[in-house]
Amino acid sequence: MKESERAIEGPPGGVSRREALTALGAIGGGAWLASSFAVADARAEEPKRAASVAVPAYRGEHAVKPLPFDAAKLAGISERLITSHHDNNYAGAVKRLNLIQKQLGSLPKDAAPYQMGSLKREELIATNSMILHELYFANLGGSGRADGAAASLLAAEYATLEAWEHDLRQTALSLAGGSGWVVVAYDPGVGSLHNWWAWDHTNGPAGGVPVLVLDLYEHAYQMDYGAMTQSYMDAFLRNLNWDEVNRRTELARSRGARSAGGA
């Protein structure tokens, strides 16, 4: 017997050379087998990891826009209310949208349809909440004096501007005292403006372009007016920025004309 074999074999009653070599082989084989399983698992996870890489559609990087006016200078709407509305309700919608989109981007390819459907519904609600809030804040901070292209179109569509305002108020009150939006939208098909009832951030005319947005959720007025929705609407109209409403209207008309010309 060679010296190396004698060293492995050891004293009587110890581990034999064959047993030692078998054990070493088992250890090596186990390590190899574990490594093989790890590689196989990694390969199996590749499609899921690929689905988790954020595509541009689901970056979730929307930023909160600052108020476009001095919150302390609105007439009849307190700085405390408008700041809370902006920092909590609007900013909350933006943050929620970012989270939802990242969750959508991380869904595995074999996700169940109901998982996709649930997140897509929430994505739509959060997206429209973000957009409508931005439009709402941007059409505040004005003098409330109605003039320009939008006022002319509304007067033509509703017979008088006073009749349009009455229709706007009635539409707002039909939202059960604080559960949605009123959206004045431009219809490029007929070239007119119309008051629309919008609930749950998801309702509106297909193809309509919002030019004036009124938030009728209670968070928009309860802190100042309690349940007095009419008083809130008075304050909203006193602060309406018709220059911004006219800008949106002219932009919508221009885009509608270009679309019709290219059809």
**Residue that has been written with the tokens 């220059």 in this structure:** 243
Q: Is the pLDDT score of 2 beyond 60? A: no
* pLDDT the model gives residue 200: 84
pLDDT tens-digit profile of 136-152? Answer: 999 999 999 999 999 99
- Residue 154 binned pLDDT confidence (cut-offs 50, 70, 90): very high
Give the chain's end-to-end CA distance (angstroms, integer): 97
pLDDT tens-digit profile of 7-55? Answer: 444 444 554 545 544 444 444 444 443 444 444 454 555 444 444 556 8
Beta-sheet strands, E only, within 188-235: 192-199, 209-215
Indicate the average pLDDT of the chain.
85
- Residue 178 binned pLDDT confidence (cut-offs 50, 70, 90): low
Between 148-158 and 242-262, two packed helices, what is the crossing angle to 10 degrees?
Answer: 80
Please determine, looking at this structure, whether the domain spanning 148-262 carries the CATH number 3.55.40.20: yes
* pLDDT the model gives residue 20: 44
* pLDDT the model gives residue 256: 76
Read off the pLDDT of each residue in 167-181 and give the average, rounded to a whole number: 89
* pLDDT the model gives residue 203: 85
- Beta-bridged to residue 62, according to DSSP, are none
The proportion of the chain whose per-residue pLDDT surpasses 70, expressed as a percent, equals: 76
pLDDT tens-digit profile of 219-242? Answer: 999 999 999 999 999 999 999 999
pLDDT tens-digit profile of 72-110? Answer: 999 999 999 999 999 999 999 999 999 999 999 999 999
